[in-house]
Structure 1
Amino acid sequence: MEYIETFSPVARMTTIRTFLAVAASKAWHVHKLDIDNAFLHGDLDEEVYMVLPPGFQGEKPNQVCKLLRSLYDLKQASRQWNAKLTATLLRDGFKQAAVDPSLFTKGIGRDYIALLIYIDDILVASSELTNIQQIKESLDEAFKIKDLGVLGYFLGIEAKVTTAGLNLCQRKYALDILNDAGFINCKPMSTPMVPGSHLSQHDGTPLNDPGSYRHLIGRLLYLTATKPDITYAVHRLSQFVSSPTDIHMAAAHRILRYIKGSPGQGILYPTATTLLLKSFSDSDWPSCHDTRRSVTRYCIFLGQSLALQVAASEPTIVYYDNKSAVAIAENNVFHERTKHIEIDCHVVRERIAQGLVKLLPVSTLNQVADGFTKALPISLFGSFVSKLGVQNLHTPPYGGY
């Protein structure tokens, strides 16, 4: 067998958001660096042989090379590089997070430093620049790094520090999508989906080229990383990638028209905010016309941002607009009608009793998660977007373009 393990852990988007939200709140310095020829540093655990490179003459016919380190064409190269980097950081005193193996932390107080790894791209955050410089020198000695300085771009996401906080957007990526789809000069729309629309897999005529639809939806899915306002529309359309129709494509084009109105709009992580967890949960019963299944969504705010060295001083607040569900969770008397959720219900009750979770009712008008479960009319959609904590960094100089 040539290889056993090929999977290499990469930072989850939730971890990236939390990392940057905490860094912005605490006014930490955030720098970016990458490793030169990262995969060439991985040590191989298996015996791997390759033919001699062109122009290299062996002493005997049919000679081959035995690899001691990985090459970029090897399927296990990514895995072996990650193992080498992890071992190096652990040896330097870093601790690997249990919830995400791509997050490493070290020290406390002013000596605290956090690293977030995405293959060979590394984010480093600390309150002290000397801590960041020390880890740069250590990694450069071990691997040879490329110091990219203060965070500007990461995974195609633009990061900009202002007096208000840290703004993340994918303006260039959004404009590339519009340009490639031929919508760069289209007329903008106020909402990403027709209010009250109910799409079905049987609507319309099947597309002659379903690949174009799948490609577009895939690109839009990544755009939701900084544009939560299009999340419902994109996820709804992603349910039809197996057999898309012209109606589904028309709905996807409406999302492009909405993006045209504010391609630079993104998430804002404010400074000096209280880092307490708040969550909103909402369900639309049963909204899917094909399966009659319900749509359940939630959004979680860390302070005012959608934890690193953050102590939870107060219980996590969960806002839900179903008073019956809140009553069942807080009531210790078992109800026969809730047998199907017995385990989950008891877990929630335990967390409430421990003071870790606090359930609070919220009106539908103030339910932030409502926009993640259905297509809203313009008035309600505007209110929904305003509560997401987004900001269009490019509006003043570019007029919304």
Structure 2
Amino acid sequence: MYFLGIEFSGSEKDIHMCQRKYALELVSGLGLSGAKTAFTPLDFNHKLTSVEYDEAAKKTEDCKDPLLENRGSYQRIMGRYLYLTMTRPDLAFMVQVLSQYMHAPKQSHTDAALRVERYIKGSSGLGLFMPVGGKLSLTAFCDSDWVSCAETRKSVTGYLVKLDNALISWK
């Protein structure tokens, strides 16, 4: 059964929610159906920067990372990714990072977004599992990365909350 583009399938033990059809339409819409898949949405230690940061750090002379002429296409991709995060918490952090550059996207931001797309291609069936019945236990996890933002030197914190084995909240 589909509702708002989300596929619901269930059994007596659990309910699975995913956006497989939407994810595959997103991949084919960008022309990446034949592209290799990526195992992670972001390269290890990949830092993205804004134009303002590049100017302040004097990286503009030898930096070959131009601004996109048509930022609307980047913004549309980010909007589609935001909708996909409803059932894909594994994408939430990367989409949050990429959406910070929607006002002035550079080529490196588009390259990172296409890597996310290749990751989505390889993991299109992922979604949320909601167990039926069982004992209810609330579990929360938190993690932070101290001074991880190259521009502001701020820390990044994330959390997730599970009710039994079902994910109910994340950031």
State if a TM-score over 0.5 links the two structures: yes
Q: TM-score, normalised by structure 2?
A: 0.86
**1:71-220 matches, cutoff 5 A:** 152-202=1-51, 204-220=65-81
Distance across 2 between alignment mates of 1:302 and 1:270:
9
Partner amino acid, structure 2, of 1:187: K
Distance across 1 between alignment mates of 2:3 and 2:164:
23
Distance across 1 between alignment mates of 2:158 and 2:134:
25
Instruction: Render the CA deviation track for 1:227-260: whole Å, top value 9, x for unaligned.
Output: 1111111111011001000000000000000011
Gaps of 5+ in 2: 55-64
- Structure 2 residue 75 is matched with structure 1 residue 226: no
Distance across 1 between alignment mates of 2:45 and 2:67:
23
- Structure 2 residue 123 is matched with structure 1 residue 274: no
Specify the alignment match of 2:62 in structure 1.
none
Distance across 1 between alignment mates of 2:2 and 2:76:
23
Instruction: Render the CA deviation track for 1:183-223: whole Å, top value 9, x for unaligned.
Output: 12211111010012111113621001111001001100110
Distance across 2 between alignment mates of 1:154 and 1:294:
37
Partner amino acid, structure 2, of 1:159: F
1:238 counterpart (91, 99, 102): 99
Specify the alignment match of 1:249 in structure 2.
110
The answer to whether the 8 A contact 1:226-1:266 is kept is yes
Q: TM-score, normalised by structure 1?
A: 0.38
Change (3 A) 1:273 1:205: farther
The answer to whether the 8 A contact 1:273-1:304 is kept is no
Distance across 2 between alignment mates of 1:262 and 1:298:
22
The answer to whether the 8 A contact 2:7-2:19 is kept is yes
Distance across 2 between alignment mates of 1:243 and 1:273:
48
The answer to whether the 8 A contact 2:41-2:119 is kept is yes
Greater percentage in helix: 1
Partner amino acid, structure 2, of 1:267: L
Distance across 2 between alignment mates of 1:242 and 1:164:
45
Q: Which structure: larger Rg?
A: 1
State the secondary structure of the residue aligned to 2:166. Answer: coil
Give RMSD over aligned pairs: 1.7
Sequence identity (%): 42
Distance across 1 between alignment mates of 2:42 and 2:12:
34
Distance across 2 between alignment mates of 1:260 and 1:175:
7
Distance across 2 between alignment mates of 1:251 and 1:236:
10
Partner amino acid, structure 2, of 1:170: Q
Instruction: Render the CA deviation track for 1:150-192: whole Å, top value 9, x for unaligned.
Output: xx22221110013441000001111111111111221111101
State the secondary structure of the residue aligned to 1:306. Answer: strand
**1:311-330 matches, cutoff 5 A:** none
Specify the alignment match of 1:310 in structure 2.
none
Specify the alignment match of 2:59 in structure 1.
none
Runs of 4+ in structure 1 displaced over 3 angstroms?
none
Partner amino acid, structure 1, of 2:98: L
Distance across 1 between alignment mates of 2:25 and 2:111:
19
Partner amino acid, structure 1, of 2:47: H
State the secondary structure of the residue aligned to 1:240. Answer: coil
Aligned length: 158
